[in-house]
Structure 1
Amino acid sequence: MNLKPTASNLSGLLDEHPEKPPQGINVDSKLRAGLNLYSRERTYRLYVPEGYDGSKPSALLVVLHGCHQTYEDIQQISGFDALADREQFLVLYPYVTSYLGYRARQCWGWWVKAHRTRGRGEVEDISRIVEQVQQEYSVDPSRRYICGLSSGGAMAVNCLVAYPDKFAGGASVAGLAYGETPSAVKGSAFSIPRYHSLPRLCAVMRKNLAGATPPNLLIIHSDGDQVVSEKATDNLEQSWKQVAELDTDASEWHIDGETSGTPWSLHGYTSHDQQRLVRLRTSEFPHSWLGGPEGQHSSPDAPCISELIWWHLNASATRELGEVTPRKDTLLQEAS
């Protein structure tokens, strides 16, 4: 069976925004530095939705901020809190907090080997934060997801590769492929990005997956992005596709649509009723979070990606388990 969303349903989803502001509570906490050399003390915030019931295991969505942002910034512009109230899931906002060495302000070190390798650095600290939250709140281990913007999008990709057993799926907004370097980011109007070859990216990804299958991934990018290029996003898509062997194990589909006058396209690979790899392309918007409330690095007039992210992660990553029926599950319909 070839399963894919329909253009009309997707257009409605991308045009949907929360009807009321968040009503839950913020819980700010700290993680102590771990034993590995690159671990640091981290600050993080957990959003607990209105009506949270600790007797029922909840999904957990980790959301990573981009450069020049804090966890408060990404919390403001992503719009996930109001969505969490409606859908009843926990939202975790880690903060890079501090770091060694030179990097753009408040960037995750997504390109540093020590920070993208299981058991070390920032990916390990993010994993430990998840474990710490699970000690205090009821989390469904089959519904742990991660996403992020820019450096946070790249770090979300790193976490999926380093901990495929911890995260059922993820989303990268203006992020990069696992194993890329800062040269893949356009630093100025005069710089020329340089990228690793696809075989090299796939080799590094396979090595760090250590035989595991890559989790489901949603990639989001606008062609107006002057920081992360279309080529960088292509490398992320193609490396994921090759390592997950989707050429032989999935049906491919493509949908074009328009939401509030903004054209978009969605390209995906479906296997065993799961959307394994999906890419949303849209136009004209800068390097930013799309469709959320106003704030730093936000494009509020764009299609609402938080709704798409939650639907993709919750609907596709849990479909085989048969334990959860997402509210938007009807988007996945049999194609003609």
Structure 2
Amino acid sequence: MKLNEGFMNSMHKVMALLRNGNPTEATEAIQRALRGEEIADVASEAHADVQVQERPATATETSTATARAKAFTRAPAPSDLEVEDRGHFTTHSYANAAGLRQYRLYVPAGYRSEPLPLVVMLHGCTQDADDFAAGTQMNALAEKHNCIVAYPIQPQHANPSKCWNWFKPGDQEHDKGEPSLIAGITREVMASHRVDPDRVYIAGLSAGGAMAAIMVRAYPELYAAAGVHSGLAHGCAHDLPSALAAMRGGKRKGAKARRGGLDGALVEAPKRPLIVFHGDADKTVHPSNAMDLVRGFGLEASSQNHAPAAAPGHRMCNVKRLKSEHGVDAELWTIHGAPHAWAGGSPRGTYTDASGPNASAEMMRFFLAHPRRIH
């Protein structure tokens, strides 16, 4: 769940309220911030109740903030045509009882008569479909592997920061809320294009990654596998305070956990393969959430350190290959020193880390190796 600058400023004020023993005011401030109310209102009320100690930023903090801003700023698009422009990138909409969502659809130039795989990509907070497509470069991979890619769009009226509402109980279940909209988009693309029903996949970043984890659990009959980058496990939160606690890596106390989820003795057996990426320097979603995502894949098949390229500056990572007791595969990629950003992504999109490994290419490899099988 990536948060914009105003929201992060609100969270700093909230933490100040908590440190000074004002939990009620802190909860109210969180709710106002998530409703999209002006940050100044939150800040002024926090200042009235709490005297926050201000100090000048150190040289190290200033340098770090500058580097982070550069890393998460979208670069101008090049003037020459990119490989993804060879196909067709169009806008569509889907509606059901839960509402309406637009989506962008990429159909590769090689689309002919044979059924193709479909990858559904869920953007993170503050992003949109074009931003996410540019950052992940998934359309270029669609040209290479002859796949269709759909990008559902979360509008600001559904969430002030355009986050998928992965932490709301009404948006966590089969045929309810946002999952019903995403599944509906998936089925609409399958109905309007020649899609192989055994090769339909879903992936996402941050809040989109958390929603992808929900989707593959809620719709195992629809998705063959899922990819989660810097996301969170299904059931780790049931409201805003528990969502923030989960993002910090705190103990989960939601209703799902009490029924045998993350804090319970039982963990639901995974039904579909899963590939997970997470930076161990992520300051937005704690890396412990990656372990929660693969908790049901208990048997470690192998573990190795991996260097994506020989060039200096490329990040090392550890790759664990797991298998559930029923033979369902998973991969966990822990990227050393990586922030809250899509690994190997293009600077044309926000929240990308170009130093790799190439999460998009690895997800596509994993997906195409795991067509849907009925267990």
Tell me the TM-score range normalised by the shorter chain. 0.7 to 0.9
Letter of the structure 1 residue corresponding to residue 105 of structure 2:
L
Distance 1:80 1:47 in 2: 9
SS in structure 2 of the partner of residue 41 of structure 1: strand
Distance 1:46 1:69 in 2: 16
Report the equivalent of 2:330: 277
1:94 paired residue among 152, 155, 179: 152
Please tell me whether residue 51 in structure 1 is matched to residue 110 in structure 2: yes
Report the equivalent of 2:131: 73
1:224 paired residue among 270, 281, 301: 281
TM-score normalized by the length of structure 1? 0.76
Please give the residue correspondences for 1:120-269 in structure 2 after superposition, counting only pairs within 5 Å.
Answer: 120-181=176-237, 182-183=240-241, 193-196=249-252, 200=257, 203=260, 213-238=270-295, 240-241=296-297, 246-247=298-299, 252-260=301-309, 261-269=314-322
Distance 2:150 2:359 in 1: 18
Question: Where does the alignment leave 5 or more consecutive residues of structure 1 unmatched?
Answer: 1-19, 206-210, 322-336
8 A Cα contact 1:42 1:98, kept in partner: no
2:89 paired residue among 26, 40, 49: 26
8 A Cα contact 2:204 2:229, kept in partner: yes
Residues paired across the two proteins, number: 278
Q: CA deviation at 1:156?
A: 0.2
Distance 1:193 1:277, change over 3 A: closer
The Cα offsets for residues 10-61 of structure 1, whole Å up to 9 and x where unpaired, read as xxxxxxxxxx6212111210112x12xxx111100110011211x2111000
Report the equivalent of 2:355: 301
Question: Where does the alignment leave 5 or more consecutive residues of structure 2 unmatched?
Answer: 1-81, 263-267
Aligned-pair Cα RMSD in Å: 2.7
Distance 1:178 1:111, change over 3 A: same
Distance 1:271 1:133 in 2: 31
Q: CA deviation at 1:275?
A: 6.1
TM-score normalized by the length of structure 2? 0.68
More strand by share: 1
Letter of the structure 1 residue corresponding to residue 121 of structure 2:
V
Q: Which has the higher contact order (CA 8 A, sep 6+)?
A: 1
Distance 1:223 1:202, change over 3 A: farther
Distance 1:67 1:235 in 2: 21
Q: CA deviation at 1:284?
A: 1.6
SS in structure 1 of the partner of residue 367 of structure 2: helix
Percentage identity across paired residues of the two chains:
26
Distance 1:26 1:274, change over 3 A: farther
Q: CA deviation at 1:230?
A: 1.8
Distance 2:242 2:318 in 1: 24
Distance 1:160 1:192, change over 3 A: closer
8 A Cα contact 1:177 1:201, kept in partner: no
Distance 1:104 1:201 in 2: 30
Distance 1:161 1:201, change over 3 A: farther
Q: CA deviation at 1:202?
A: 7.2
8 A Cα contact 2:227 2:274, kept in partner: yes
Distance 1:145 1:40 in 2: 23
The Cα offsets for residues 127-157 of structure 1, whole Å up to 9 and x where unpaired, read as 0011111221011110000000000000000
Letter of the structure 2 residue corresponding to residue 21 of structure 1:
V
Distance 1:72 1:29, change over 3 A: same
Distance 1:274 1:74 in 2: 32
